[in-house]
Every structure is written in structure tokens, then in C-alpha cells.
């Protein structure tokens, strides 16, 4: 034990302990751990007060490097974290994530002296059994709440009703209204794989809280024709190796688009602007670009997001005004509005047992439609986001 210096007012917050509070992962497998203890060896990384530092050599994994405690015992108790790796003791989460997601305790003051004061007060409270414990009694409840909330969550941005892969609107039946009206959560997070395709729809948008008819049928509305051969036939200019993709939603990450388009050949660069809802895929070889255009047939679905693909000369896409941006978003959907009409038409025609050439070709196009491959094993699957 070091000499007690509690009498010294300036050093009253200095902590001397006999044993660290460390999680299982930080300790070596051998239960006989040799630790070095140094009183007031360093300042706590959270409250900046001196504390007793323990260090030991983590075996194997750390390759001869020493592990040591980084935060003082008071802070560790207050945050319910490991002194070494600063991870939550219950779920093994980083404490930042736990505190934000479970909304357990406020992060505390930011300035140095306030932090010290905060820690001092809490230390006293813990000694008297007033604080530090009760918040974490609620962890279970909060964890359940979080799971429930995410299970019936709506996407974080406004979006419309989804369409299935044939372009038929998925009707939210009253029984399954919970998920259907809010838009499929899988689609919302962009992790749902192929699955339903979203579309703007005034009814569905109204269901998720949008104003009805909010600028959807304007002069720039969805009067872009459905993709035709001119969209995917290779242009005469042989130096052109870029495809222009529109309709990118805010939650569609860049790497998913890359994964989809790199199947056709090596990508030189992929420029995605989420703000303007469009992207450029620049291939290294002309053949790859031609293959991609031919396979896509003017449209693609990535993580439920309908996209329109066409040839274009590369240009700056980050500089668009508001009108143009919303046009880009609607443009992606226009690729599928045509498909929807075609299938609807085909249904009626099939009823009458007539085969029109035009409809059969468009249904053929739909069959050829390239859809992003289902997410692989490395893709995190949130059970709550898998629908229902």
C-alpha cells in the first residue's frame, strides 16, 4: 500500500487500488497472471486523475506486447467497462455505442476540470452506495427496448412503398400493416439483399408521413420513358467507358454498388454522390462497360433500390440544384414504372389469352433483369430487419 495521502486535499482524488477490474478477453488463458502494479502510474484516460496502473503481458495474441489498465477503477465502475479494453462488461460493446444506443447515462462533462470534478463526485457516490450501480440495473430493460424498437423500425429517411421484383406494388394488408406501411425495414437499411424494390407512391408516402402529392407530379415528373435499347446499345464514341446510374437512395452504400458492377469487369473508379442520387461507373475497358450495359438492360436493383443505368459522358455530379437532384431520384424509379405497366398489361392480356409482341419483349427484359446477388455470409444479417 502506498502512503495514504487522502489528507492532502489536492491529492484526494488519487486512486490506489489492489486489484484491477478487467474483462476475460484482456487476460491470458493461464489463470496465473503476473502483474506489475504501479501506484499513481498514469492519469486515467477518462477523468485525468492519477490511478494505480496494472500491466501484464498478454500471451500469444499480443505478441509480447504488454497490456495495461487505461482507466481508473472509478471510471470503470461508473461506465461498467473493462479497465483495459474499455469495452462494456455485459455485452462486450464499445461503451460509446452502448451509451448511445441504450441511452443509459449521459456521457458526462467534456472539459478537463469538470471531468475530474464529475469523477470525484461519482467516486463519493459509489462509496456511499448511491450511484454507479442503478443505471446498469436498467440495462436489460433498455436492451429489450432497443431490440423491440429496431424490430418494428421505420427507415430513417422518408421513402415510399416497395415493389417486388416484377414491379408489382406490394400491398400492405391489414394483418401485416406494421411492416408494410413503414416500408420494409430490410430495404430501409440497405441490407435486405434483392427483395422488394421501392418506389415512390403517394399513398405509401402518406403512410410514412409525407405530404400527399408533394411535388411528385410536377412538370419534371416521371415522364422519363422506360429504358429502351438506346440506353444500353454501345455508343459510337469508343473512348466512352462510363455508365451513369440514377436513383441512388441515401442508405445505399458505395461498396454495394461497386460489388454489383465489378462483376462485369474491372472498375477504374466509381463516383457516387448520395446527395444528388446519382453515380458514375467508369470501367477500365470498353468491353466491360459494354457487357455491363448489355446485362443491365438499363436498370438494376441493388439492396432493393431501383436504379436506372445508361451510357453517359463523365461529368461533375456534385453540383446540382435541388430540382435536378429530385429528378435524379425519380429517374431511377422511372426504369421500373414502365415495367410495372408492362406486367399489368400482360396480366390482362393473358386473361384474354392473347400474346402481344411488345409485352412479351418487355417481360423478357424483366426476366433478364440483373438483380444484385443476395448478401453473402460476410454481410451482417439483422434479424429485425429481415421483414415481418
Partner 1 sequence: MSDAENDAQELALATTNNDTEVAPPAEKKVKKIVRRKKRPARPQVDPASVKNELPQQTGTIYNVWYNKWSGGDREDKYSSQTKAPNRCVISTDAGFTRADSHPGTPFCLYFARGICPKGQDCDYRHALPGPYDIPPQNQDCFGRDRFSDYRDDMGGVGSFSRQNRTIYIGRINVSDDIEEIVARHFAEWGSIERIRVLNSRGVAFVTYTHEQNAQFAKEAMAHQSLDHDEILNVRWATEDPNPMARKREARRIEEQAADAIRKALPEAFVAEIEGKDPEARKRRKMESSYGLQGYQAPDEVHFARGPNAVNPKGREGYELEHEQRLMLEAAEDAQAAEEAQYESAAVPEKGGILSSSTLAALQAAQVAVASKPKAAASAGPLVAYDSDSD
Site for partner 1 in 238-267 (CB under 8 A): 250-251, 253-255, 258
Q: Is 274 in the site for partner 1 (CB under 8 A)?
A: yes
Tell me which residue of 226, 225, 279, 224 sits closest to 250, measured CA to CA.
279
Shortest distance, position 257 Cβ to partner 1, whole Å: 10
Decide if residue 120 touches partner 1 (CB under 8 A): no
Angle at 278 between CA 153 and CA 272, to 5 degrees: 85
Distance CA 196, CA 289 (A): 27
Nearest distance in Å: CB 302, partner 1: 14
User: What b/e sequence results for 208-244 when a residue is b if at least 16 CB atoms lie within 10 Å of its CB, and e otherwise?
Assistant: bebeeeeebeeeeebebebbeeebbeeeeeeebbbbb
Cell of 161: 412503398
Q: Residues 146-185: x/- map of binding to partner 1 (CB under 8 A)?
A: xxxxxxxx--xx----------------------------
Pick 181 or 271: Cβ nearer partner 1: 271
Give φ, ψ of 272 to 5 degrees: -115, 130
Residue of 280, 283, 311, 336 interacting with partner 1 (CB under 8 A): 280
Smallest distance, partner 1 to C-beta of residue 1, A: 26
Closest CB to partner 1 among residues 3, 377: 377
Residue ranges in 341-370 that form contacts with partner 1 under rule CB under 8 A: none
Tell whether residue 66 is a contact of partner 1 (CB under 8 A).
no
Piece of 137-145, 169-177, 224-232, 325-333 that binds partner 1 (CB under 8 A): 137-145
- Binding of residue 129 to partner 1 (CB under 8 A): yes
Our finding on whether 126 is near partner 1 (CB under 8 A) is no
User: Residue ranges of the alpha helices (H) in the chain?
Assistant: 73-79, 95-102, 112-127, 134-137, 139-151, 177-181, 185-189, 202-207, 229-232, 254-261, 286-296, 322-351, 357-368
Amino acid at each position: 500500500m502506498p502512503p495514504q495521502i487522502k489528507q492532502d486535499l489536492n491529492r484526494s482524488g488519487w486512486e490506489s487500488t489492489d486489484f484491477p477490474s478487467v474483462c476475460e478477453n484482456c487476460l491470458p488463458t493461464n489463470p496465473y497472471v503476473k502483474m506489475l502494479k504501479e501506484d499513481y502510474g498514469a492519469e486515467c484516460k477518462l477523468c485525468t486523475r492519477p490511478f494505480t496502473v496494472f500491466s501484464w503481458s498478454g500471451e500469444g495474441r499480443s505478441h509480447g506486447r504488454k497490456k495495461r489498465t487505461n482507466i481508473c477503477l472509478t471510471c470503470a465502475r461508473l461506465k461498467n467497462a473493462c479497465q483495459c479494453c474499455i469495452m462494456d462488461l455485459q455485452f462486450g460493446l464499445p461503451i460509446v455505442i452502448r451509451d448511445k444506443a441504450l441511452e443509459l447515462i449521459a456521457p458526462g462533462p467534456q472539459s478537463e476540470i469538470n471531468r475530474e470534478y464529475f469523477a470525484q463526485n461519482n467516486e463519493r457516490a459509489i462509496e456511499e452506495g448511491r450511484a454507479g450501480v442503478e443505471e446498469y440495473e436498467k440495462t436489460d430493460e433498455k436492451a429489450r427496448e432497443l431490440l423491440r424498437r429496431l424490430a418494428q423500425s421505420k427507415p430513417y429517411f422518408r421513402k415510399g412503398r416497395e415493389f417486388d421484383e416484377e414491379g408489382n406494388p406490394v400491398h400492405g394488408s391489414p394483418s401485416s400493416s406494421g411492416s408494410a406501411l413503414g416500408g420494409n425495414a430490410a430495404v430501409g437499411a440497405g441490407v435486405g439483399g434483392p427483395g422488394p424494390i421501392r418506389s415512390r407512391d403517394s399513398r405509401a408516402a402518406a403512410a410514412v408521413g409525407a405530404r400527399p402529392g408533394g411535388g411528385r407530379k410536377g412538370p419534371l415528373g416521371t415522364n422519363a420513358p422506360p429504358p429502351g435499347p438506346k440506353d444500353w446499345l454501345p455508343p459510337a464514341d469508343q473512348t466512352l467507358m462510363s455508365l451513369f446510374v440514377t436513383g441512388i437512395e441515401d442508405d445505399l452504400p458505395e461498396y454495394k454498388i461497386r460489388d454489383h458492377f465489378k462483376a462485369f469487369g474491372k472498375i477504374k473508379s466509381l463516383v457516387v454522390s448520395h446527395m444528388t442520387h446519382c453515380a458514375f461507373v467508369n470501367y477500365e475497358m470498353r468491353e466491360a462497360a459494354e457487357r455491363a450495359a448489355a446485362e443491365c438492360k438499363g436498370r438494376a436493383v441493388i439492396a432493393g433500390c431501383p436504379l436506372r443505368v445508361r451510357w453517359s459522358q463523365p461529368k461533375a455530379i456534385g453540383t446540382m440544384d435541388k430540382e435536378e437532384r429530385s429528378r435524379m431520384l425519380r429517374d431511377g424509379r422511372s426504369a421500373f414504372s414502365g415495367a410495372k405497366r408492362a406486367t399489368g398489361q400482360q396480366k390482362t392480356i393473358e386473361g384474354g389469352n392473347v400474346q402481344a409482341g411488345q409485352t412479351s419483349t418487355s417481360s423478357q427484359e424483366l426476366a433478364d433483369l440483373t438483380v444484385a446477388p443476395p448478401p453473402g455470409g460476410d454481410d451482417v444479417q439483422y434479424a429485425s430487419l429481415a421483414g415481418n
